[in-house]
Amino acid sequence: MSLRVLTGIKPTGVPHLGNYVGAIRPAVAAASAAGTESFFFLADYHALISTQDPLRVQRSTLEIAASWIACGLDPDTVAFYRQSDVPETTELTWLLTCVAGKGLLNRAHAYKAAVDRNRAEGVDDDAGVTAGLYMYPVLMAADILLFNAHRVPVGRDQVQHIEMARDFAQRFNHIYGEHFTLPEALVEEQVATLPGLDGRKMSKSYDNVIPLFAPRDELRRLVFSIVTDSRAPGEPKETAGSALFQLYQAFADRDEAEAMRAAFAGGIAWGEAKARLFERIDAELAPLRERYQALVADPAGLERLLRRGGERLRDEQARPFLARLRDAVGLRDLSLATRVEAGVADASKPALPVFKQYREADGRFHFKLVDGDRLLLQGDGFASPRDAGRIVGLLKSGAAAPRVDANRRMWLDDAAVGAVAEGVDVDDVLGALERFAGEGG
């Protein structure tokens, strides 16, 4: 079976260059690796935890879906879907909720941070905390376990959630049998963190981002606003610590980066360096931007594409898997109840040894007691099958107390009926007979 890689994308706003270089571009490249089966989804159920603005949820979902496809995600080779199009996710969330330890959820970083903020403000621990925020890790575990993903590429801040998914999966498997694969977080150690306009990490919270699909003019304006030092044209410039150089490197190949390094050493003017950076970024992004605009302009097309992806996954995987899980936990067709119960009772105990009756070449009727293919007791020959059957019945009933003598002969009252097989412990044979009595024959 191929390696299943799954990751969720929270639809919040349009991505910026930092998201593109650090997450989208590497993920799209990894998705086409041989031997992997990739799942990418828009985590719109999760979005409801952070926003209660319906238009924003809808708009973000559209923009993020369009962004990923514009960046080369191929919905024909990758499972690309919207979380809420696979509602089995929520049913699985409940099944997992019922095995999830509340104490473990108390320790989730996001929840704890909310509690800490409340304490700092001197209000109730749970003020303003929805049960949705609290349950975030369980919903996320359902995303992952529903498709039995092996690897989950995430940022460092999400590793705890993957650990929790493993914990819930383990508990469920322990109680109900092996149903879930235990997922592993895949943290890309050397993803480039891109500097923003001010040289700090590019991040919405620093207000220093370059939107991925900024129009060409806007992109030029933003690139020209990147902070540089005051070195004049002709003065050699440092590449180390230069946001401009780092940005260039994130888009350039090795030769281009070397050429820029030489230009820095040779005293290129900042204006000229910015112009080169702008052209280099635009060369990569222009075709993506065009695709993005076309996708956003056709929301119905995207809607169809997402629905198709979701429906296929439901039919082929989510529905049948949930049917199995429902059965495992006892949400079952009542008419099957007794049969299933009996099956469970039998499976929980080792199979009983069996008596076999047969006629030998000497014309007499024999029996033997076997456990699997191991002979425990070899019965003597009897004149009729009824005689042999009577002895077997007595041995099974527990009504007669069999004895074994020093020669390993078995007796019922004063009649010898057979011999303990060679190499078999006498107690094993007597123990097996007792189990017959216990089972009621």
CA angle 425, 426, 429 (to 5 degrees): 95
| Closer Cβ to ligand TRP, 43 or 100, answer by number | 43
Mode of pairing for the β-strands spanning 354-359 and 365-371: antiparallel
Does residue number 67 form part of the binding site for ligand TRP (CB under 6 A)? no
Q: Given the rule CB under 6 A, which of 112-120, 140-148, 256-264, 410-418 is the region that contacts ligand TRP?
A: 140-148
**DSSP labels for 23-47?**
IIHHHHHHHTSTTEEEEEEE-HHHH
- Choice from 134, 143, 194, 250 touching ligand TRP (CB under 6 A): 143
The enclosing H or E element of 117 equals helix 109-120
- How many residues belong to the site for ligand TRP (CB under 6 A)? 12
| Helices 270-296, 216-224: crossing angle, 10 deg rounding | 150
| Cβ-count burial 296-320 (b if 16+ within 10 Å, e if not) | beeeeebeebbeebbeebbeebbee
Burial 404-417 (b: 16+ CB within 10 A, else e): beeeeebebeeeeb
The closest of 314, 411, 331 to 83, measured between CA atoms, is 314
Q: Please report whether residue 8 would count as binding ligand TRP according to CB under 6 A.
A: yes
Nearer to ligand TRP, 212 or 219 (CB): 212
Given the complex with ligand TRP, which of 46 and 274 has the nearer CB atom?
46
Give min distance, CB of 345 to ligand TRP, in A: 39
Q: Pick one of 19, 60, 158, 242: the residue that binds ligand TRP (CB under 6 A).
A: 158
- Minimum CB separation of residue 63 from ligand TRP in Å reads 16
Minimum distance of ligand TRP from residue 99's CB (angstroms): 18
Q: CB-wise, 9 or 212, nearer to ligand TRP? A: 9
- Closer residue to ligand TRP in complex, CB, 141/197: 141
- Which two three-digit tokens encode residue 67? 């962004």
DSSP 225: T
* Binding test (CB under 6 A) with ligand TRP, winner from 28, 47, 69, 152: 152
Give the one residue of 28, 154, 197, 302 binding ligand TRP; rule: CB under 6 A.
154
Considering the complex, state which of residue 83 and residue 242 has its C-beta at the smaller distance from ligand TRP: 83
Which stretch, 5-13, 190-198, 200-208, 317-325, contacts ligand TRP (CB under 6 A)?
5-13
Considering the rule CB under 6 A, would residue 144 count as an interface residue with ligand TRP? yes
Could you identify the residue written with the tokens 């621990």? 125
Site for ligand TRP in 27-66 (CB under 6 A): 43, 46
- 7 lines the binding site for ligand TRP (CB under 6 A): yes
- Contact between residue 6 and residue 149 where contact means Cβ atoms under 8 Å apart: yes
**Closest distance to ligand TRP from the beta carbon of 29 (Å):** 18
Q: Which of 24, 16, 59, 58 is nearest to 205 (CA)?
A: 16
Stretch that binds ligand TRP, among 139-147, 371-379, 406-414, 418-426 (CB under 6 A): 139-147
Verify binding: residue 140, ligand TRP, rule CB under 6 A: yes
* Residue placing its CB nearer to ligand TRP in the complex, 10 or 435: 10
Q: How far apart are the first and last CA of the chain?
A: 46
Q: What is the rounded CA–CA span in Å between residue 422 and residue 420? A: 7
Cβ closest to ligand TRP, residue 140 vs residue 410: 140
Q: Is 436 strand, coil or helix?
A: helix
Q: Residue 26, CB half-sphere, CA atoms under 13 Å: how many?
A: 19
245: which 2 tokens?
């150089």
The residue ranges that bind ligand TRP (CB under 6 A) are: 6-8, 10, 43, 46, 140, 143-144, 152, 154, 158
